[in-house]
Amino acid sequence: MWAGRVLHATLSRAPRGSRAQSALAQLRGILEEELESIRGAGTWKSERVITSCQGPHIHVEGAPGGIINFCANNYLGLSSHPEVIQAGLQTLKEFGAGLSSVRFICGTQSIHKDLEAKIARFHQREDAILYPSCFDANAGLFEALLTSEDAVLSDELNHASIIDGIRLCKAHKYRYRHLDMADLEAKLQEAQKHRLRLVATDGAFSMDGDIAPLQKICHLASQYGALVFVDESHATGFLGPTGRGTDELLGVMDQVTIINSTLGKALGGASGGYTTGPGALVSLLRQRARPYLFSNSLPPAAVGCASKALDLLMESNAIVQSMAAKTLRFRSQMEAAGFTISGANHPICPVMLGDARLALNIADDMLKRGAHLLGRWLISRTFR
C-alpha cells in the first residue's frame, strides 16, 4: 500500500513531457516488434513506385527500361484508354476538381445521378448509390440494412471489406466454409429463427481466382427464404458475355438481390464504389449508410472516367471477349510449362509455389527481368 502511494507521488511529480516521451517510447517498441515479426515471416510488402501511367507496360522507379505489368486490377486496360482519359479531363473542366461536401448537403451534381442511373441499367437493377470506394460500400450496407433480429451468412474467405462491414452490424453472424454448400445449408437451417437472412459472398475471390457457385447459393437462398448479396469487384466489366459479372456468367441476375462493386478496377481504375439493387434499399442507404453520409462526394473526374468506361462496355462486348481469350491463353500456356495455376477461368491466375517468402523473392527477381508481379498472388493461403 505504502509502495503504491510512493509510486503515485513519484509519477505525480514527474514532468508531463517526460511521461509523454515514455509513452511514445513504449509505443515505438511495440510497433518495432510488430514490424519485425512481419519481416521475419517473409510477408513484408514494399511499394514499388510507378513513374508512368497505369497500363500493360509501365516504368518503375529503380528498374531500367519498360516493365510488363502482370499485377494491376486494370483488367480491360481502361485506366489509360484515350476516351476514358479525355472524358475525365472534360468532366474536370466542366464540373471542377471536387465538391468539398458530402452528397446530401451540396455535393450531388448531375453527373453523380447520371452515373448512378447508368450503373443500375448496366446491372439491370432498380437503383444505385455511389461511395468513395467499394470498401465504403461494404462498410455502409450491413449496418444500415440488418438489425439484431436478422442474420448474415458469410463465406469464410470473403474480402476484408465484407468481413469488416459485417462486424459493424448487429445481426447474428454465421460463417460457412469456403464454397461449401452443405455447410451453407446447415447454417441457413440454423438461421431460420431470424427475421431476415442475407447470404454474403464475393462473386470472384481475389486471392485464388475461384468463383462462387451462385446457382447453388441462389437455390438454397430460395429454399430457405434468404436474400443474396454479391461483391462483384473482381467480376464487373469482364465476367459474363457482356461483362455484367458472375451473376450474368452463371445466369442468376434475377436472383441476386444486392450487388456491391467498384469503379477502381475494370471500370477505369480511378476510384469509387457502389451498391445497386432494390430502390427502397438504395433510399435507405442514402439516409443511414455512414460512409455515404459522412464522406465527400466522388470527384467529378473519377465520375467522368467511370461513366465513359461503362459506355464503352455497353456499346460492345468485344473488349470483354478479348479479356476472356487472353485469360485462356495465359492459363493454358502456364500450365503447359509445368506451373500449377489455381482458381477458375478468371484473369486472376495464382501461380502456387507453396511458400510466401519464395513468392516474394521470385516477384523481386522477375522485376529485374522486366516483369512486375504481385508476390502474394504466387502463394495466397499464408495471407488469409
Dump strand ranges (E) for the chain. Answer: 57-58, 67-69, 127-131, 151-155, 172-176, 197-202, 227-231, 258-262, 273-277, 371-372
- Which of 341, 68, 116, 346 minimizes the C-alpha distance to 234? 346
Cβ atoms of 269 and 238 within 8 Å: the answer is no
- Residue 32: burial class (beta carbons within 10 Å; 0-12, 13-18, 19+): exposed
CB atoms under 10 Å from CB of 315, counted, come to 9
Spatial CB neighbours of 328, under 8 Å, sequence gap ≥ 6 = 345
Distance CA 88, CA 307 (A): 9
Q: Give the sign of the dihedral formed by CA 158, CA 161, CA 167, CA 168.
A: negative
Q: In 3-state terms, the chain is what percent helix, strand and coil (to 5)?
A: 50, 15, 40
Active-site position among 123, 194, 265, 372: 265
- Residue 347: burial class (beta carbons within 10 Å; 0-12, 13-18, 19+): buried
Cβ atoms of 183 and 174 within 8 Å: the answer is no
CA distances from 175 to 157, 193, 369 (A): 9, 16, 42
In the annotation, is 206 catalytic?
Answer: yes
CA distances from 31 to 24, 35, 47, 293 (A): 10, 6, 19, 33
Distance CA 126, CA 248 (A): 16
Active-site position among 234, 308, 346, 372: 234
Distance CA 81, CA 87 (A): 10
The residues that are catalytic are 206, 234, 265
